Amino acid sequence: MSNIVDPLVRQIAARVRTERERRRWTLAQLADASGVSQAMISRIERGESSPSAVVLGKLSAAFQLSIASLLALAEGAQDGTEPTAGVRRGADTAEWRDPGTGYRRRQISGPHFPAEVAEIRLPAGARVPYPAAAFAFVRQIVWVLDGRLTFHDGDTVHELDAGDSIELGAPTPRVFANTTDVECRYAVILARGAQP
């Protein structure tokens, strides 16, 4: 398998390794905490595999970080400098793509902004589940910008159209699904809560 050259994939690889090592976890310990196989974590850390949205959700939950935080921290690792306030050009903002579903995520806010804002594009027919732990210690709003999002909040299903939003409550397993034949675009706005 050839190494992936996408800079954001390399940055995610470095961030996953850094977060694991910062906790002094072995690959086996991260695998136990996340439910992701050691082999997959090793491939991700070497930049040989781009993680799916589901795998990123599991790893983020194990680290007690949001996916947005993990991706924002990875983006911030580009040159090691502290980002400054000001204009962020769309063309300069990295977009991460789930290799399995085609789900695309672009961080709107920088890693040091107090709220995390991401734009998501969910292709027609795509379905992305996340474990409850991915929503621990965060407050989150999902705002549909275009299309229709079928949102499973535990056992409750919400059909959200453009302009609709949902503020998420206590952590529960959640599924973002696009059951239509056109792309759905939505924003995720997240604020961190208390850490344990």
CATH no., domain 96-192: 2.60.120.10
Tokens of 111: 């890693």
Q: Rounded to 5 degrees, what are φ and ψ at 157?
A: -115, 130
Sheet holding 127-130, edge to edge: 127-130, 174-177, 148-153, 156-161
- Domain span(s) for CATH 1.10.260.40 in the chain: 7-76
CATH no., domain 7-76: 1.10.260.40
Kindly tell me if the per-residue pLDDT of 3 is higher than 50: no
Q: Cα separation of 25 and 65, whole Å? A: 16
Q: Cα separation of 101 and 138, whole Å? A: 25
Three-state secondary structure string covering 163-175:
CCEEECCCCCCEE
pLDDT-derived band of residue 185, with 50, 70 and 90 as boundaries?
very high
- Domain span(s) for CATH 2.60.120.10 in the chain: 96-192
Q: Determine contact, residues 49/40, Cβ cutoff 8 Å.
A: yes
How much is the pLDDT for 196? 36
Q: Rounded to 5 degrees, what are φ and ψ at 20?
A: -65, -45
pLDDT-derived band of residue 4, with 50, 70 and 90 as boundaries?
very low
pLDDT-derived band of residue 9, with 50, 70 and 90 as boundaries?
confident
Q: Quickly list H helices, 23-152.
A: 27-34, 38-45, 53-63, 67-76
Q: With pLDDT > 70 as the criterion, what percentage of the chain qualifies?
A: 86
Q: What is the pLDDT of residues 36-95, one digit of tens each?
A: 999 999 999 988 888 888 888 889 888 888 776 777 666 554 444 445 567 877 777 778
